């Protein structure tokens, strides 16, 4: 049984879903520090043949606050602008109507913090694809670990939940030692995404955009195949 732990991102790129699919359960790391100009409330879509960064507005963003202490500001002005951008970008995409309904469902509900909004964006994709996802939040499952050193906290969260095989995003190879985790009784692996490419109109392919982009151009069967495009290393 494998566990993953990751900060919640708004409609993340497909590599995030590879991490989820590589494990039996994901812990959304919602009680760690918010990162300005990160991916928690931002991502990229395809607009006018190139990548375009969209941002979910938040109240009093600070890296001194936890992710679950940051409140999203989903105003009418924001949603009008956001959905206008989505229409301009994707109105001719084959699955535009279905994906817009996902987006509307996510942004129609007020969330107390950006973590919960981001988690909803991820679970809504699974609901649309009729796929299961098992998840919890670190603030619920292991609040007492807050303040521990990074690697030790990940190890303790695994033990709290009864998992002894931990899978991290590939960027963690520079941060975490397999030997150290093993010395604490946890097997550490990393998920590596394979090349994912699909037809985006008649443009040159722009990779690693938000899952919004992948959904716009792929049916449910193709999406499920895209989710398997990863290796454990």
Express each pLDDT in 157-191 by its tens digit.
999 999 999 999 999 999 999 999 999 999 999 99
Q: Is 131 exposed, middle or buried (0-12, 13-18, 19+ CB in 10 A)?
A: middle
148: its two tokens: 């521990």
* Mean of pLDDT values over 49-78: 95
Rounded mean pLDDT of the chain? 97
Nearest-angstrom CA–CA distance, 223 and 219 = 6
Q: Which residues are registered as beta bridge partners of 52?
A: 45
| pLDDT (tens digit per residue) in 33-59 | 999 989 999 999 999 999 999 999 999
> Are 40 and 9 a contacting pair, CB within 8 Å?
yes
* Mean of pLDDT values over 46-75: 95
Q: Model's pTM, two decimal places?
A: 0.96
99: pLDDT confidence band, cut at 50, 70 and 90?
very high
* Mean of pLDDT values over 86-97: 98
* Mean of pLDDT values over 19-37: 97
| pLDDT (tens digit per residue) in 142-151 | 999 998 999 9
């Amino acid at each position: 049984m494998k566990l993953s732990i990751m900060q919640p991102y708004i409609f993340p790129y497909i590599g995030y879903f590879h991490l989820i699919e590589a494990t039996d359960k994901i812990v959304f790391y919602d009680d760690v520090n918010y990162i300005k100009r990160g991916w928690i409330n931002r991502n990229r879509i395809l607009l006018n043949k190139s990548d375009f960064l969209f941002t979910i507005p938040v109240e009093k963003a600070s890296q001194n606050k936890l992710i679950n202490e940051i409140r999203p500001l989903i105003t009418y002005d924001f949603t009008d602008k956001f959905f206008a951008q989505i229409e301009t970008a994707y109105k001719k995409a084959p699955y535009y109507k279905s994906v817009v309904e996902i987006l509307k469902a996510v942004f129609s509900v007020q969330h107390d913090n950006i973590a919960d909004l981001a988690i909803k964006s991820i679970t809504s994709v699974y609901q649309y694809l009729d796929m299961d996802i098992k998840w919890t939040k670190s603030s619920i499952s292991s609040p007492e670990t807050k303040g521990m050193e990074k690697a030790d906290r990940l190890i303790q969260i695994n033990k709290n939940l009864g998992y002894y095989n931990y899978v991290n995003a590939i960027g963690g190879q520079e941060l975490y030692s397999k030997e150290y985790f093993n010395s604490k009784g946890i097997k550490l692996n990393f998920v590596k995404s394979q090349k994912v490419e699909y037809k985006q109109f008649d443009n040159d392919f722009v990779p690693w955009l938000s899952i919004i982009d992948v959904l716009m151009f792929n049916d449910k069967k193709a999406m499920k195949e895209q989710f398997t495009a990863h290796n454990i290393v």
